[in-house]
Amino acid sequence: MTARILVVDDVEPNVRLLEAKLTLEYYEVLTAQDGATALQVAAAERPDLILLDVMMPGMDGFETCRRLKADPVTRHIPVVLVTALDGREDKMKGLEAGADDFVTKPIDDVILFARVKSLVRLKAVMDELREREESGRRFGVDTDGAGRLRASGGRVLVVDDNARQADKIVSQLAAEHRPVAEPDPTAALVAARGPVDLIIVNVSSGEFDGLRFVAQIRSTEATRRTPILGVVDPADRPRLVKALELGVNDILPRPVDTEELEARARTQIRRKRYADFLRQKLDYSLEMAVTDALTGLHNRRYMAGQLQALVGRAGQGGDQVAVLVMDIDHFKAVNDGFGHDAGDEVLREFAVRLATNVRAIDLPCRLGGEEFVVVMPGAPLEAAHRVAERIRRDVAETPFPIMGGAESLSITVSIGVAWSDGTGGDTPDALLKRADEGVYEAKSRGRNQVIARAA
């Protein structure tokens, strides 16, 4: 996977060296030699990753990272701090500034590219989710996710056969999260399918293959999106690189530093919750695209797609299909006499009665206004007529409450029923037209009736 990478360093040879290495790996490289320029380039170009030197005059890497993460335009761009400093305080300072990872000078090319590939993969997923969220927002779907960025109270599964190390991790995280330890990888795979925000794995375990456990987590649908924090000996380069290639989101070096543990866990949990929020909003947007907002029934778009498929199936020897088309009688008088709020109450109550009188496999839909349709897979004409008559009676026999229950109205409905077995080149439009003709005939006969039309 290629990507656009911004390299920031005040030393020209360092910039050129990194640029050459990245270009050989087919990455597109942007450059900046100070923090202020980096902020401008990042905002204008939106790179997929930023390699940011720490020791720069004026605005150092920590402050530049802090500003990148504070700007809504650039906060989702992964930042890897490149530093000659390998001290604990500098690492903690970088994590607190929002850095996603570190590489130390002299740069190990294998580890650098493993981290780059891992973060670019994550960025691609997040970009797609945010793009879909933005589409939903343009269509009026609420996408305020600020509350989902909370990084505390996470459910953490610690998979480690080293009891002392596992106890240390659990004890340190318990003040802020809900950690549990599981030394058995088989049991841990089962536990990981539950509501887990972060998995911490001892990749260097002596009793089980930590890399294989990571691979199993990533190959299982229920767990592949759960972030993994791998605990590994930094001197074990092959294992560290393989862990990143298999999909570990972040690395925690041994021996475990408790403050670094807290910072990295916080980052992964926050990111997981934001991704979950975006996916939830995407699901909500898709649901809203096929749902009538007033009644909660399916809308015309959904009905058309389902009916097209059912009629096509019937035409190929599949099950027959029936439709009911309904029009509430004298609905305009309700709006004119009692107001549109009362009309909405009638429509919502009608939708409830409609949904409770059809079969479990039927699709009740609102076409718009006071018109409704029920698509009935596999229903013969007689069965569809019986359901239509049941709906008609339920509507007519019990008055509809309006104005919060202060008043009630007698409502009736005219229903047309049509049926098709798919022969004779029947189409969804033809089927709906026959049912609609039944509605008009019911209206002309005095309303509050069911009229059935065969193919």
Summarised one tens digit per residue, pLDDT across range 229-283 is: 999 998 898 999 899 889 898 888 899 988 889 888 988 898 888 878 777 766 5
233 and 189 share one domain: yes
Contact residues for 84 (Cβ-Cβ < 8 A; gap 6+):
54, 55, 104, 105
**Helices (DSSP H) in 109-257: which residue ranges?**
109-138, 163-173, 185-192, 210-219, 237-246
Task: State residue 415's pLDDT score.
Answer: 97
359: left (phi over 0), alpha (psi -120 to 50) or beta: beta
425 and 340 share one domain: yes
The residue type found at 76 is H
* Sign, Cα dihedral of 272, 278, 279, 284: positive
* 197 in Cβ contact with 152 (< 8 Å): no
* 299 in Cβ contact with 395 (< 8 Å): no
Instruction: Indicate whether 151 pLDDT > 70.
Output: no
Enumerate the active-site residues. 370
* 411 in Cβ contact with 342 (< 8 Å): no
Rounded (10°) angle between helices 381-397 and 340-357: 140
Exposed e or buried b per residue across 235-266, where buried means at least 16 C-beta atoms within 10 angstroms of its C-beta: eeeebbbbbbebbbbbbbebeebeeebbbbbb
Say how far apart CA 220 and CA 422 lie, in whole Å. 41
Least confident of 29-33, 99-103, 136-140, 172-176: 136-140
Task: State residue 453's pLDDT score.
Answer: 81
233 and 249 share one domain: yes
pLDDT digits (tens, 9 = 90+) for 327-336: 999 999 999 9
218 and 270 share one domain: yes
Least confident of 164-168, 240-244, 276-280, 448-452: 276-280
Which H or E element spans position 157?
strand 155-159
163 and 188 share one domain: yes
**Could you say which of 282, 309, 329 is where a domain stops?**
282
382 and 444 share one domain: yes
Mean pLDDT for all residues in the chain: 88
